[in-house]
Amino acid sequence: MYRERIEPAAAPVTIVEYLAGRYPHTPADAWQQRIQQGQVLVNGRPVHPNETACAGAERMWRRPPWTEPSAPLSFDVVHEDEHLLVVSKPPGLPTLPGGGFLENTLLSIVRKSDPAAVPVHRLGRWTSGLVVFARTPEARKKLAAAWRECEVTKIYRTVAEGRPIRETFTIDTPIGERPYAPLGMLHMAAPEGRESETRVTVLAGQDDTFLADVCPKTGRPHQIRIHLASAGHPLVGDPLYGVGGVPPDGSSALPGDPGYTLHAHTLEFEHPGRKSLCSFRSPVPPWLVDH
């Protein structure tokens, strides 16, 4: 059940017009059908689609249940103590609710055995590897500060396109939001964007692809995918970011679409309770070992 107070409008509008204007992703005819089915209530009573929306009235919407997309519902415990829990998640499992996912998320399945655990960062759905959960408010505060101040060493392994001319190189392409039709706005390479830095170490090359360890010094959204693509080396299979660090012309891909391979295999930071450096590793999956 969703609840809200109807906001004042510049001119009188019907309840259907109000809902279609406030939630433009759902057309007016869909709202009209929901009202006729008794799913929308105002001040606790059913309404007529042409009834005027009264400012301040309480609107309730009985949203029908949805079929949640499937996901691999498992994780490996890498480390646990009284302050933190470190786990390794598989590709395909979202870290947090969103995009139609609620129960089929890492947060949900971790909390079944550890109800107080709070993730201090997140990985994209198709990125596998290490995720850190805080077990106390104090640990959460300290770890959040460490991530915010870029005091965490993060190393990912991936397979990218091309043949780099150097074994190690740094990418510092600015990253910012720019218009992207399928979403409105999307993080991508942008001259006016925020400063960003990623260190790349080439491990092996094969045909026109290479295996690399990637260490992002900053934490911009989709930074590794954008940076490697901006340097002319998109992640193999990445459906979203092409050469230049932007979506190809006419692209309809979304950030959560599968295809690329990215694994968070190392994390190093100051332990929130012991004030000593701790280091955690997640074994590199077979599809990267065999490259």
- Does this model's pTM top 0.85? no
- In tens, the pLDDT along 164-223 reads 999 999 999 999 999 999 999 999 999 999 999 999 999 999 889 999 999 999 999 999
Question: Six-digit token pair at 255?
Answer: 């950030």
Question: H or E segment at 188?
Answer: strand 184-189
Report if residue 165 sits inside a domain: yes
Give residue 59's pLDDT band: very low, low, confident or very high (50, 70, 90): confident
In 67-136, the DSSP E strands lie at 76-80, 84-89, 118-119, 127-134
CA distance 88 to 90: 7
- Final residue in a domain of this structure, among 61, 88, 109: 61
pLDDT at 2 over 90: no
Task: Check if the beta carbon of residue 143 is closer than 8 Å to that of residue 274.
Answer: no
Alpha-carbon distances of 161 from 58, 116, 143, 150, 232, rounded to whole Å = 54, 41, 34, 28, 8
- In tens, the pLDDT along 120-175 reads 999 999 999 999 999 999 999 999 999 999 999 999 999 999 999 999 999 999 99
CA distance 44 to 2: 12
- Final residue in a domain of this structure, among 120, 149, 178: 149
Question: Six-digit token pair at 195?
Answer: 């400063």
- Final residue in a domain of this structure, among 149, 165, 182: 149
Number of structural domains in the chain? 3
88 and 115, same domain (yes or no) = yes
8 and 57, same domain (yes or no) = yes
Report if residue 291 sits inside a domain: no
Structural domain boundaries, residue 22: 2-61
CATH code of the domain covering residue 38: 3.10.290.10
